[in-house]
Amino acid sequence: MCILENWLDDGILQNIASENNLSETAFLVKQNDYYDLRWFTPTIEVDLCGHATIASAFVLSSFYEKGINEIKFKTMSGIMKVTVKGDMFYLDFPTRKAEKTLDYKTFIEAFSCKNQGVYKATRDFLIVFENETQVKNIKPDFSVLKKVKEEAQLENDLFGIIITAQGDNCDFVSRFFAPTAGIDEDPVTGSAHCTLIPYWAEKLGKTKMKAIQLSGRTGKLDCEYLGERVLIGGKAVLYSKGNICL
């Protein structure tokens, strides 16, 4: 994430994100009692991102506003709050419920296995599989997966594909792919859990859940369903710090 004194040209922000080559790079500008926050993948700006928001809260509470226990962000998806409790960071994000949709041929071909249902939320697709092992072992054909944009007649590249199943040692597991947005597989995806949490809350009959994202890096999340909002809890550590010269 990058803290700026003032907003730079969008082209510069996109170039920085491309050079970073991470799933998302967060950019922040301080505005009185909140921060303007934007997220860029290596190819486009996105409307919601969880782990880059936790990273932003971690950096702000560790280096810029030490001891702060709540941070407010203004984003494309409205006002977001992060609460700091010890080494845990809790995102207050909007719920994005999914509705049943077509089982597109693209998904069948790209995943090479049968699913139990396909759903569509505001932004992302949600595909349910039988068990955790199936989700873990799927090897997507990303060149094929990109074709869902044309098959589903989507207007832009701002969407992802979530695959999920009930977990063996947690409530549910997932993985997240967004090849049209420059992200083949995301390691941990807070925005995806805006859709996963209400789905599994209904299926499991509970509002507090534990989730694991089965990426190569693996992500563990505390989840709570609050109706119109969801709480997503996770931890953060410092990986690197430096300056960007323009």
pLDDT value of residue 117: 96
78: burial class by Cβ within 10 Å (0-12, 13-18, 19+)? exposed
CATH superfamily of 99-225: Diaminopimelate Epimerase; Chain A, domain 1 (3.10.310.10)
Active site residues: 24
Alpha helices in the chain (DSSP H): 10-20, 51-59, 105-111, 132-137, 142-145, 148-151, 193-204
- Judged by DSSP in three states, 168 sits in coil
The beta strand positions in 60-136, using DSSP E, are 70-75, 78-85, 88-94, 99-100, 117-120, 125-128
Q: Which residues contact 58 (CB under 8 A, 6 or more apart)?
A: 89, 236, 237, 238
pTM for the model stands at 0.92
| C-beta of residue 125 within 8 angstroms of C-beta of residue 110 | no
- Judged by DSSP in three states, 236 sits in coil
**Res. 245 pLDDT band, cuts 50 70 90:** confident
Task: Write out pLDDT tens, residues 84-95.
Answer: 999 999 999 999
**Dist. CA 246–CA 86, nearest whole Å:** 36
pLDDT value of residue 96: 97
Does the domain spanning 2-94 belong to CATH 3.10.310.10? yes
Q: What residue ranges of the chain are covered by domains with CATH 3.10.310.10?
A: 2-94, 99-225
Q: Is the pLDDT of residue 239 over 90?
A: no
Could you tell me which of 140, 164, 144 has the C-alpha nearest to residue 214? 164
| C-beta of residue 240 within 8 angstroms of C-beta of residue 93 | no
Task: Write out pLDDT tens, residues 141-170.
Answer: 999 999 999 999 999 999 999 999 999 999
Q: Is the pLDDT of residue 120 over 90?
A: yes
Average pLDDT over residues 112-138: 96
**Dist. CA 50–CA 223, nearest whole Å:** 13
Q: Is the pLDDT of residue 67 over 90?
A: no
